[in-house]
Amino acid sequence: MAKQSHLKPRTPEQVLKRIMNDFSAHQARAKDAFEVTQEMPKYFFCDYEEMRRIVQNNFAYLGVKIRAWKKKNT
């Protein structure tokens, strides 16, 4: 049996961390692709900081203490 490479997020805090990591990875890939190709990204108007703020605000409704979460995870 193959070893599991990642765990499914089961709590709101874990889901939030997964989403924030995905944002960071996508932003880094888009930046790298732009440096190589010098072409505008497909979604050049995407503001990752604003998306992060919106997602974090929505997770606050689920009971995640955002200020404490940021201290622990950033």
- DSSP state letters, the chain: -PPPSS----SHHHHHHHHHHHHHHHHHHHHHHHHHH-PPPTTTT--HHHHHHHHHHHHHTTT--HHHHHHHH-
Residue bearing the bigger pLDDT, 19 or 6: 19
CA 59 – CA 11 distance, rounded (Å): 11
pLDDT digits (tens, 9 = 90+) for 17-59: 999 988 888 888 888 888 888 887 776 777 888 888 999 999 9
pLDDT at 28: 85
pLDDT score at 59: 92
Specify the pTM. 0.75
Average pLDDT of the segment spanning 55-74: 89
**Contact by Cβ (8 Å): 16, 61:** no
The domain ranges of the chain are: 12-73
